[in-house]
Amino acid sequence: MRITLEQISPKEYEGNLIFLYGNEVADRNLPLGRKEIECLKQRRADDPYAVVAFDRLPWRLFVVNFDAEKPGDENQEKLRRSADKVVAMLKEAKQTSAGLTGDGVIPEEVVAFLEGMVLSDYTFDRYKGQQPAHVESLAVDSTFLSQEELDRNLRLWNRIFWCREWVNLPVADLNAQEFASELEDIAKDLGVSCTLFDKKKIEALRMGGLLGVNKGSVDEPRFVVLEYHPDNAVNGKPVALVGKGVMYDTGGLNIKPDDYMREMKSDMAGAATMASVVFAAAENHLPVHVVALLPMTDNRPGFNAYAADDILTMYDGTTVEVVNTDAEGRLILADAIAYAVANYAPELIIDAATLTGAAVRAIGTYGIAAMQQNADNPFNLLKILGNQIYERIAEFPFWPEYDKLIESDVADIKNCGIAQAGAITAGKFLAHFAKQTPYIHLDIAGVAFFSKKQDYYAAGASGYGIRLLYAFLQTYDMTISK
């Protein structure tokens, strides 16, 4: 979607027009007759958020109702969702361009609507012969935002698209090696420093978790570190962003039965998310020092694949009893978290991982299952921002009793507990490696990949979490980690 800024006067606009209609005083600018306005007000009375289309042959007018008297997060989310409806209506009418304006509307609401349009217009179509329809061009009324603001948003949204594309790609077309070198290329273009460890280096570093999971695969593992360190960084020590990069999760020898293996190409969404956040921060010159640590491998049952009862020695020397080879994400993340602690002394670690089915069972697909250790302040900030932009986090308890569930008879800890509290024991396992460093765990299993369309997200990868973490870095201040 090509987006330009233009002055738009609704009554003279030649083309499809989207009009955000915030309050009834605003009807003076609507290019509608008296009867039509009466009819519109009736629809508005029935449903204050109705999207009403009028034929203005050869064009259409879409009036997007909302309540300007209730500005805030919910209103903005409703506008994102209405934007999805308008995109669908444009496509249905085989229209590829439109103008966007409104009255009784504030810039934040216009941006939210625009965001909804942009996110909902994404399709994963590179394997399709017949290309799906798109809104090709959109002219936004320049009274609502500057070119610079628009560009900053476009760069962020573009990163979300890239993330969705990587996550949607099947493992046959994006293995660890390919993903790592793709990130390296982008980092080079953006002036982000990239360190790429191959298998030999990972062996030399003794990352037993990453190597253990990789044993059943023909494809080598990779470990990628992306660092963005601007001169004007507000933080002395970096924020470390760790992302699960399981390129495909078959479950390993504890193989996933039936349909449970479906969609497991998305098991690297955490790594894709964190790389995208660092790239967006760099492109928009956020004044924050941030490092992404991305362990990558697939999880397969081939060769001498790692097996239940194996004991792995992790990067920090912790020994781990493998109880189930399908609890692989935490093994590769443990090495990455320990590596971050030992080599970057970060002031905060956040991980994003499609880690557990238990998280999905607990809260479904409407938010992130989140946990924290020594990180009250940043966690609260994340929660507030999540509610604002509708990438929400729900805090799970992290009581010391849960630690007992991952105690092992033969090693320091084991890689899974009992059937209960599965999302929490996974988080506890990771928290062990963060030691005293403030730590936030984001289990994105429910939101990274939608089996069917959800609001403005098409079925497939969502990029959920990028806007949240970007907003977090944007408002980040040294004091909050204390």
- Check binding of 31 to ligand BES (CB under 6 A): no
Least Å distance between CB 355 and ligand BES?
6
Distance of alpha carbon 260 from the chain centroid: 22
Separation between Cα atoms, residue 100 and residue 86, nearest integer Å: 11
Buried b (16+ CB within 10 A) or exposed e, 155-177: ebbebbbbbbbbbbbebeebbbb
What does the block give as tokens for 190? 């953006």
Mark the segment that binds ligand BES (CB under 6 A) among 70-78, 140-148, 150-158, 348-356: 348-356
Query: CB under 8 Å to 4, separation ≥6 — which residues?
Result: 137, 138, 139, 140
The count of residues interacting with ligand BES (CB under 6 A) is 16
Cα-based angle 327, 332, 337 (whole degrees, multiple of 5): 120
State the residue for tokens 């179509």: 125
Mark the segment that binds Zn ion (CB under 5 A) among 185-193, 328-336, 425-433, 437-445: 328-336
Instruction: Give the number of C-alpha atoms closer than 13 A to the C-alpha of residue 160, restricted to the C-beta side.
Output: 27
Distance of alpha carbon 38 from the chain centroid: 42
Q: Pick the binder of ligand BES from 22, 208, 243, 329 (CB under 6 A).
A: 329
Peptide bond into 287 cis (omega under 30): no
- Check binding of 267 to Zn ion (CB under 5 A): yes
Q: Pick the binder of Zn ion from 219, 316, 321, 326 (CB under 5 A).
A: 326
230 binds, among Zn ion, ligand BES, none (CB under 5 to 8 A by kind): none
Nearer to ligand BES, 307 or 360 (CB): 360
- Check binding of 357 to ligand BES (CB under 6 A): yes
Chain position whose Cβ is nearest to ligand BES: 357
Q: Pick the binder of ligand BES from 118, 327, 421, 458 (CB under 6 A).
A: 327
Q: Nearest Cα to 360, choosing from 406, 416, 426?
A: 426
357 binds, among Zn ion, ligand BES, none (CB under 5 to 8 A by kind): ligand BES
Reply yes or no on whether 256 is catalytic.
Answer: yes
Q: Which of 81, 222, 300, 330 is catalytic?
A: 330
Contact positions toward Zn ion, by CB under 5 A? Answer: 246, 249, 267, 326, 328-329
Contact positions toward ligand BES, by CB under 6 A? Answer: 249, 267, 324, 326-329, 354-358, 360, 416, 422, 445
Catalytic residues: 256, 330
